[in-house]
Amino acid sequence: MSARYQFSGTTAVEISAGIESGIRTGALSPGAALPPVRALAADLGVSPATVARAYQELRQRGLLVTAGRHGTRVRPRPPVAARRSALRPPPLPGARDLSRGEPDRRLLPPLGPHLAALAADTGPSVSYSDAGVLPELAEVARARLDADGVPAGELTITGGALDGIERLLGAHLRPGDAVAVEDPGWANLLDLVAALGLRPIGVPVDDDGPMVAGVAAALAAGARALVVTSRAQNPTGAAVSAERAEALRALLAGRRDLLLIEDDHAAELARVPLHPLAGATASWAFLRSVSKPFGPDLRLAVLVGDETTVARVAGRTRVGAGWVSTVLQRLVLALWSDPAVDELVRRAAQSYEQRRDGLLTTLAEHGLRAHGRSGINVWLPVPDETSAVTALRDAGWAVAPGALYRIAAAPAVRVTVSSLHADDLASLAAALAHAANPTPPPGFPT
Ligand SMILES: Cc1ncc(COP(=O)(O)O)c(C=O)c1O
């Protein structure tokens, strides 16, 4: 894969700068294997320590990943601007794309009428001195969280859930610190953890959320933060159950050395109740994004937490980006206040549930147990991801390889059901069944 890239440099700085520019231009594509340290050192006429330093610097910045016997590779989504096409190869022409993890655009509430109403009622423009969290938005956000049992805390607004997580991790941790993350878990979070120079510790997940023994092991291994997806866990669809929440709260009770972050990105789209862990630890934050129910382009999430945690995020935002635009905040408030929008979100949630359950049931008829308690994805364990993705591609379906989401979890593929039609179920399930139970190659069994 790295055949198009000519390695060069005689110092660690030159070698790493060359690799970074190779990633930027697409000559080194995501996932591309890099030569072993000794081989590259011999090629360039430098010491192995020089190449090792270059690789280490790029690893700490999240551009490279070293995966045991698989050697060193470019991360699937390295944190350096590259041509988008290099980051995600387009599905074959005519293929149905179930790889993206996006809500169905047709099920998002239209923004036009509310934007028009805002345009007609702009009032005086907000200036640097009076900008910040809109009190009206904060009030409605608190009431919505309170109704779901999230304890009242301090509140701020971030540019989405991931922005909130980045600000929380940045304010509490330092490069080299360990973060407990779900395994399998959200690819963007794994990329962010790598880009911040943090060490991920994988916590196994089942349908009820992060497993208690896995969290205990991560704590014992020195995790300074724990990120839990409340519902619609990406990629498995897990949702923290009442029993799991109780057990995790007992484990975490009173811990002063751990930042607990909860990501309720599915929010109003989740058809399962919320069982928050918020408040179990001294440092905690609960994030609710508007991306999935109301549209990813809104870039807004509500963050509540203990006083110090929220003050750190709000204070850091103030000296940087400043605030999340009050134009956006007013738009979200308008969406939250419109019963017609509520009804559209309710119908979208119902529709995702039907598609997910439809696929799980059809897969069960093929004898396959897949996962998807909530959300827009189904996670199907397969023996070999590469051959499964290829077989599905040949049958006209693009799905996401589990490797994007896994640390030590077993192989699987992620199927996004948000745009799946009932008519597709039989052929998709048959193709998935074939991919999950491939015909053995001809020849003698070994
Ligand atoms: C687990 C998880 N958290 C959060 C988000 C959305 O975050 P944001 O609010 O940054 O759009 C997603 C979107 O796919 C997700 O899968």
Mean of pLDDT values over 207-219: 98
Using an 8 Å Cβ cutoff, are 334 and 114 in contact?
Answer: yes
pLDDT band (50, 70, 90) for residue 16: very high
Between the alpha carbon of residue 329 and those of residues 141, 144, 260, 320, 321, the distances in Å are 11, 15, 26, 18, 15
Using an 8 Å Cβ cutoff, are 417 and 202 in contact?
Answer: no
Q: What is the pLDDT of residue 81?
A: 72
Q: What is the pLDDT of residue 67?
A: 79
Q: What is the pLDDT of residues 341-358, one digit of tens each?
A: 999 999 999 999 999 999
Distance between Cα 238 and ligand 1 center (Å): 14
Per DSSP, the chain holds a count of helices (H) and strands (E) of 16, 15
Q: What is the pLDDT of residue 126?
A: 86
pLDDT at 328 over 50: yes
Instruction: State how far the Cα of 327 lies from the Cα of 348, in Å rounded to an integer.
Output: 25
Helix, strand, coil: what percent of the chain each, to 5?
45, 15, 40
Which protein residue's CA is at the shortest distance from atom 4 of ligand 1? 265
Q: What is the pLDDT of residue 241?
A: 98
Distance between Cα 286 and ligand 1 center (Å): 13
pLDDT at 90 over 90: no
Is there an atom of ligand 1 within 6 Å of 301 CB?
Answer: yes
What residue has token string 């690819």? 187
Of 4 and 339, more confident: 339
pLDDT at 442 over 80: no
Mean of pLDDT values over 219-228: 98
pLDDT at 338 over 60: yes
Using an 8 Å Cβ cutoff, are 259 and 172 in contact?
Answer: yes
**Residue 254 burial (10 A CB sphere; 0-12, 13-18, 19+):** exposed
Q: Which of 263, 287, 324, 417 to mutate to test the pocket of ligand 1 (most atoms within 8 A of CB)?
A: 263
Q: What is the pLDDT of residue 1?
A: 45
Chain-centroid distance, C-alpha 135? 29
Q: What is the pLDDT of residues 61-71, one digit of tens each?
A: 999 998 777 79
Q: What is the pLDDT of residue 122?
A: 67
Instruction: State how far the Cα of 27 lies from the Cα of 34, in Å rounded to an integer.
Output: 12
For a pLDDT cut of 70, what percent of the chain falls above it? 96
Q: What is the pLDDT of residue 82?
A: 63
Distance between Cα 46 and ligand 1 center (Å): 43
Instruction: State how far the Cα of 100 lies from the Cα of 315, in Å rounded to an integer.
Output: 34
Q: Which of 289, 298, 328, 405 to mutate to test the pocket of ligand 1 (most atoms within 8 A of CB)?
A: 289
Structure-token pair, residue 300 = 């807004």
pLDDT mean across residues, the chain: 93
Instruction: State how far the Cα of 413 lies from the Cα of 385, in Å rounded to an integer.
Output: 7
147 Cβ contact partners less than 8 Å away, ≥ 6 residues apart:
none
Is there an atom of ligand 1 within 6 Å of 231 CB?
Answer: no
Q: What is the pLDDT of residue 185?
A: 97
Hey, which residues does 206 pair with through a beta bridge?
209
Lowest-pLDDT range of 15-19, 24-28, 304-308, 322-326: 24-28
**CA-angle at 103, arms to 101 and 108, nearest 5°:** 165
Q: Which of 104, 163, 268, 292 to mutate to test the pocket of ligand 1 (most atoms within 8 A of CB)?
A: 292
Is there an atom of ligand 1 within 6 Å of 161 CB?
Answer: yes
Give the number of other CB atoms < 10 A from CB of residue 386.
Answer: 11
Between the alpha carbon of residue 234 and those of residues 189, 207, 248, 405, 424, the distances in Å are 10, 11, 20, 8, 23
Backbone angles phi, psi at 265, to 5 degrees: -70, -25
Structure-token pair, residue 329 = 């905040």
In DSSP notation, 24-62 reads: HHTSS-TTPBPPPHHHHHHHHTS-HHHHHHHHHHHHHTT
pLDDT band (50, 70, 90) for residue 441: low
Long-range contacts of 397-402 (CB under 8 A, 24+ apart): 397/95, 397/96, 397/98, 397/428, 397/431, 398/91, 398/92, 398/95, 398/96, 398/97, 398/98, 398/99, 399/98, 399/99, 400/99, 400/100, 400/101, 400/235, 402/184, 402/235
Amino acid letter, residue 253? A
Structure-token pair, residue 262 = 């909860």
**Residue 237 burial (10 A CB sphere; 0-12, 13-18, 19+):** buried
Q: What is the pLDDT of residue 83?
A: 53
What residue has token string 């996932």? 31
pLDDT at 440 over 80: no
Structure-token pair, residue 48 = 């192995």
Q: What is the pLDDT of residue 94?
A: 83
233 Cβ contact partners less than 8 Å away, ≥ 6 residues apart:
182, 185, 186, 205, 209, 239, 374, 375
Is there an atom of ligand 1 within 6 Å of 265 CB?
Answer: yes
Mean of pLDDT values over 353-364: 97
Is there an atom of ligand 1 within 6 Å of 99 CB?
Answer: no
Is there an atom of ligand 1 within 6 Å of 229 CB?
Answer: yes
pLDDT at 445 over 70: no
pLDDT at 4 over 80: no
Is there an atom of ligand 1 within 6 Å of 159 CB?
Answer: no
pLDDT at 208 over 80: yes
Lowest-pLDDT range of 59-73, 285-299, 408-422: 59-73
Mean of pLDDT values over 352-366: 97
Using an 8 Å Cβ cutoff, are 375 and 102 in contact?
Answer: no
Of 274 and 256, more confident: 274
Lowest-pLDDT range of 29-33, 229-233, 301-305: 29-33
pLDDT band (50, 70, 90) for residue 340: very high
